[in-house]
Each structure stands twice: as structure tokens, then as C-alpha cells.
Amino acid sequence: MTSPFTKAVRPLDPRLLRYAHAARRFLLVGALLGLAQTLVVIAFAWLLTRAITLTVAGEPLRTIMPTLAALAGVVVLRSALIWLLEVAANRGAAQVKSQLRAKVMAKLAERGPDWVASRQSARLSTVVTTGLDALDNYFARYLPQLLLTMIATPILIAVILSQDLISGLIVIVVIPLIPIFMILIGRVTQSVQQEQWQALQRLSTGFLGVVGGLGTLKIYGRERRQFDRIRSITEEYRTRTMTVLRVSFLSGFVLELAASLSVALIAVSIGLRLIDGALLLGVGLFVLLLAPEAFLPVRQVGAQFHAASDGLAAAEELFAILDDETTPAISRADGAAQAVQFGSGALLLDGVSVRRGETLVIDHVHAEFPPGQLSVLRGVSGVGKSTLVAALLGFVPFTGTLTLDGVTVPAGATRGWLAWAGQRPGLFRGTVAENVALGAASADHTGLDQRLVLKSLGWAGAAEVSPATVLGVNGEGLSGGQAQRVAAARAIYRAISTDCHVLILDEPSSALDSAAEAGLLVGLRRLADQGRIVIVVSHRPAVVAAADNVIELQELAHV
């Protein structure tokens, strides 16, 4: 079942129109179809009234036949319009989802990995895929009704008014009461929810806790005691949820009551005036048939609000991403960033500081990484080694200067000078060869240098891994150590193929046994011997022993 809890959201977020052009087109098409539907509703009510009055007047079937034929035509037309509106809504949803997805992905690319890491990546992926699917209901069920409320309701009220002033006034008085009551009840619901929120959150995951921890519970012989626990958790969940539902179902009650009471009022008032002869049966019946139609869209908007609010909440999360301007864009090679050529001198860090929010993570680091040397960067856990690497990669803004061969590396420069392998292997589906040649090989394998792939794997100490091995998601199919070395091979491939001057490996041997580690170190030495700057972040004794140059990163005393 859907969550019984409504969120306070705007009915139509203007940002939806701004970020997704398809939404505008849908609104236009939907408005036209809504207008046509309204006219059909009026025609149906008018023809039906005419057929009935003719019947009551005692006319034979033959006289009524033309009206029935017209009515049949309207029925077919009405059904066709309903179909068209749903088709338009579904098409609109599909197009809007595509557009929003593309916008968000472009935004992620622009903000960079550090920004993404500050939000949970799984959460982000869900928002972009299944989260967006919640917009289906918003488009298919909610927006058409919202459009009809804005188009059909005024037209129908005008028609009713023109036929019978009193009935029209009843509708005009009652319709605004519906949103007012909805809002009032919504407020009460929210305050009740807030009281229950934490308890409900805990209780709703209680069963998951018991099922997920069943192995642990069995180890401690506690599995039998959980029956009572499940019962009590679920029972408390029920009583608390019902407390909330008692209030939130009131909004549905008000909708129904307003609509049916005003129909009743109109029927009674028409009936009484018919007795006086102040009104004709045709007019009375016509108005009686139209009155519920005037309420229908408003009622539907209220009834579909749940479905819609899920979609809006998903959209809200997207807009928050799209509107986020807190961090500057990072540079990307396929962007308009400038390419800088560097010579073969040392890499120099001069007073480099990195802040994350209010916290100073790296404070005025000075370091020199000479060419042709294997340098090791070390420091206790949490000292900011990976942050420093992220700063070099341009993922994190820093102050101070970074010079390569005496030339300042500008903040917006591309990373052409740098090859890197992170702590996490970060491998993709595809063959090992495609992974190693990432960035160089296009999708059709042109530019994939098989010999260089073999060489890179060899230098990373992963000669036993076949380039043809096909990997699953997240490099599935390799052991942790193999994945780590393939990631190192990928950096080596880039360093050699694009002639990067600097190679940075972040904890490349944390999952390796000593033999594999030794193999990797041999490869790294060769790269250094070619005149490259090789930087390894590591605390492993073997790596430190092999280094020409050890740079100790000091811990900052945080207050």
C-alpha cells in the first residue's frame, strides 16, 4: 500500500516546466483535450436531458431516435477523448522523465565525484531511475485532473449559472470549501504525523530488523522470542498508523460530503421549484446532470493527491540537485577547459589547503615529487591523504599553488598530465581489456592497444589476468586483489598511452599478498625509470621500503 502520509507540496512546480520542455507541451495538449472533454460532457448531459424530456412528454421512440443517435456519437467521442488524454499523459511522462534524467546526469558530471560522494550514490541512482517513475502517476492521474479543474469546472459552472442561478450559486459556494477543508485537515494530519513520525519510522523497519538479523538471532538462540516481538511491533504500528489515518481520511470524507451534499441540495431546490412551475423539467435535469461533473475534477485531484505527491517528492529531490549551486563546477576534458602542456620537471605543492565545509582538512601542505622517483605519501588514517589526491585530481577545490615543471596547474586545467587509481577499483562491465583501456578505447574498440593492455597488466603485477575475461557489475568475476591490480593497470595504460607525466596510486596494494605487491612495485619502478613522477599513497612496509622519497602527511589538531 502507498504511504498514508501526504507531504506538503505545490500542485504544479514551475521548475517542472523550466527543466522539462515536454511538460509544457503536455500542458498545452492536455488543456485542448480537457476543453474538448468538457464540451462533450455538456453535449452528453444536454442530449440525455432532451431524450428524457421527450420520453416523459410521451413521444414515441421514432421521434427520439435522432437524439439517441447523436447521444451514441457523443458516447463514442467521449470514450475516444478519455483514451487520447491518457495516451498524451503517458507520452508526456516518458518524455519529461528522459529530459529530467539527462539534466541530472549532466549536473552530476559537472559537479564532480566529490559532490556525488557527499550524497549517497545509491540514493542518487534511485532518484534518477525508479524515483522518476513516480512521475508516471503524477502525469497520468493527477495533472489531467488538475487541468480539468482549471478548464472544465469554470465552464460547467458558467453553463449551470446560465441555466439556473440558484444551482450555480450552490456550486460556487461549495467548490472553494473543498480545498479550504483539505488544507485545514492536511495541517492537522501533518501535526499528528509529526508526533508519530519517529515511532512509525522505527516500527516500519522493525520487521526488517528481525528478518535480516535472523542469522544473528539464531546464533544467540533468540529466534523463538521474536514471535512476540513481531506481534507487538506490528500491533503498535497498527495503532499508531490508525491514529494518523483517522485524521487523514477526513479529507476524503469532506470531498465526498461536499460533492454529494451539494448535488442533494441542488436536487431538492430544483424539485421544489418544479412544483411551483418556476422551472422547466429540461432545465432542472440538465443542471442536475452537470452538477456532479463540476465537482468530479476537484474530487479527483484530491483523491489522486497521494499518487501525485510521491511523484512530486521525487521531482523535488531532482530539483534540489539541479538547483544546487553550492560548489563550483569541476573541469572536464570534454568541457571547454583549457589544455596545458607541461614539461618533465617535478610536481610541487606549495601551501596547499583544502576545506570541507568549515573544517580545514589539509593545512598548507608543502611537498615536492621529483621526476624519475617513486614517492610514498603516508600518514595515519583520516589525515587527509585521499583528500589531497582528490584535490590534485581537481575534484576538490583547494587554495595554494600546484606547479608541474615550474608551470602552475590552473584550477580549470584538464587532467591530461595525470593518471590515477583510487582506493576502490571502480571497474565496469565488459572485458578486462576494455577496463584497462578506459577513456582511450571507444565503444567499437578502435584505439584499444592489445599489446599495451598486456604490458600494463604485467607491470601492475596482474599478468595472470586474461584481458578477455568478461567482468560483471563492479568488476564481478575478479578477486579483490585482482580488481585492485586491474585498476592499477588501467592507470598505467593511461600513463603510457597518453604520456601522462604523473601517476598517482591510492592504496594500490591494500588487498594484495606480498608476492603480488612485489610485482606491482617492480612495474612502478619501471614507470619511474621512464622519468615519470610516481606517487603511491600507502602505509605498507614493502611499499615504503621501495620508495625513493617518503612524504609524511601530518595530522591536523582539530578543535
Partner 1 sequence: MSEATLPIPIGDVLRLAQPRPRWFVPGLLAGIGSAVMAVALLACSAWLITVAAEMPSLAVLGMAVVGVRAFAIFRSVFRYLERLSSHDAAFRQLAELRLGVFRRIVPIAPAGLASTGRGDLLTRLVRDVDDLQDLPLRVVQPLIVAGTTALLSVVAIWLIVPAAGLTLLVCLLLAGILGTFFSGTLAARADRELSPLRGALADEVLEIVENLDVLTAFDALGPRLEQLARTDARLRKATLRRSVGIGVQSAVVSLFAGAATLGALYFGVPALDSGGGVLSPVLLGPTVIVAVLVPMAVFEVFGMIPLAGSAWRQVRVSATRVAGVVPATVPGEIPVDVVDPQTLFTPDLTRGPVVLELTNLGACWPGQHEPGVAGVTLRLAPGDRVHLAGPSGAGKTTLAQTLVRFLDYTGSYRLNGVETRLLAQREVRRVVGLCEQRPWLFDDSIRQNLLFARDTATDAELDAVLARVGLAEWSRARGGLDARVGERGLLVSGGQAQRIALARALLADFPVLIVDEPTANVDSVGADALVRDILTAAADAHRAVLLISHTPVPDELLTARVTLPARAGTHT
Q: Scanning residues 333 to 392, which ones bind partner 1 (CB under 8 A)?
A: 333-334, 380-381
Integer Cα distance of 390 and 113 in angstroms: 9
288 interacts with partner 1 by CB under 8 A = yes
Q: How close are the terminal C-alpha atoms of the chain, in Å?
A: 48
Residue among 124, 303, 307, 346 that touches partner 1 (CB under 8 A): 124
Amino acid identity for residue 185 in this structure: I
User: Residue 241: CB partners within 8 Å, gap ≥ 6?
Assistant: 4, 196, 200
Nearer to partner 1, 14 or 558 (CB): 558
Grid coordinates standing for 362? 589539509
- Interface mask toward partner 1 for 30-59; x: CB under 8 A: --------------x---x--xx--xx-xx
Closest CA to 394 of 49, 110, 106, 168: 110
- Strand 502-506 versus strand 533-537 pairing type: parallel
Q: Kind and range of the H or E element at 313?
A: helix 305-323
Question: Site residues for partner 1, window 75-104 (CB under 8 A)?
Answer: 75-76, 78-80, 82-87, 90-91, 94-95, 97-98, 101-102
Nearer to partner 1, 10 or 231 (CB): 231
Minimum distance from residue 146 beta carbon to partner 1 (Å): 17
Minimum distance from residue 54 beta carbon to partner 1 (Å): 8
173 interacts with partner 1 by CB under 8 A = no
Classified as helix, coil or strand, 222 is coil
Select the span of 105-113, 175-183, 316-324, 519-527 touching partner 1 (CB under 8 A).
105-113
Nearer to partner 1, 192 or 250 (CB): 250
Residue among 196, 243, 327, 474 that touches partner 1 (CB under 8 A): 474
CB 143 within 8 A of CB 301: no
Classified as helix, coil or strand, 348 is strand
Cα-only R_g, the chain: 34
249 interacts with partner 1 by CB under 8 A = yes
Closest CA to 367 of 395, 328, 412, 398: 398
Nearer to partner 1, 239 or 529 (CB): 239
3 interacts with partner 1 by CB under 8 A = no
Nearer to partner 1, 150 or 281 (CB): 281
Question: Site residues for partner 1, window 442-471 (CB under 8 A)?
Answer: 442-443
Nearer to partner 1, 10 or 173 (CB): 173
Nearer to partner 1, 275 or 468 (CB): 275
Minimum distance from residue 10 beta carbon to partner 1 (Å): 26
Taken as a whole, the chain contains a residue count of 559
Other Cβ atoms less than 10 A from the Cβ of 222: the count is 14
261 interacts with partner 1 by CB under 8 A = yes
Integer Cα distance of 493 and 420 in angstroms: 10
Select the span of 237-245, 320-328, 362-370, 402-410 touching partner 1 (CB under 8 A).
237-245
Nearer to partner 1, 35 or 372 (CB): 35
Number of residues engaging partner 1 in binding (CB under 8 A): 142
Minimum distance from residue 286 beta carbon to partner 1 (Å): 10
CB 520 within 8 A of CB 461: yes
Grid coordinates standing for 102? 539527462
Q: Cell 597518453 sits at which residue?
A: 498
Select the span of 11-19, 163-171, 201-209, 528-536 touching partner 1 (CB under 8 A).
201-209
422 interacts with partner 1 by CB under 8 A = yes
Minimum distance from residue 7 beta carbon to partner 1 (Å): 19
Residue among 15, 237, 316, 407 that touches partner 1 (CB under 8 A): 237
Integer Cα distance of 422 and 410 in angstroms: 22
Residue among 26, 138, 181, 395 that touches partner 1 (CB under 8 A): 395
CB 284 within 8 A of CB 274: yes
398 interacts with partner 1 by CB under 8 A = no
Supply the angle between the helices 281-303 and 21-56 in degrees, to the nearest 10: 150
Integer Cα distance of 364 and 489 in angstroms: 32
Residue among 10, 18, 246, 445 that touches partner 1 (CB under 8 A): 246
CB 247 within 8 A of CB 185: yes
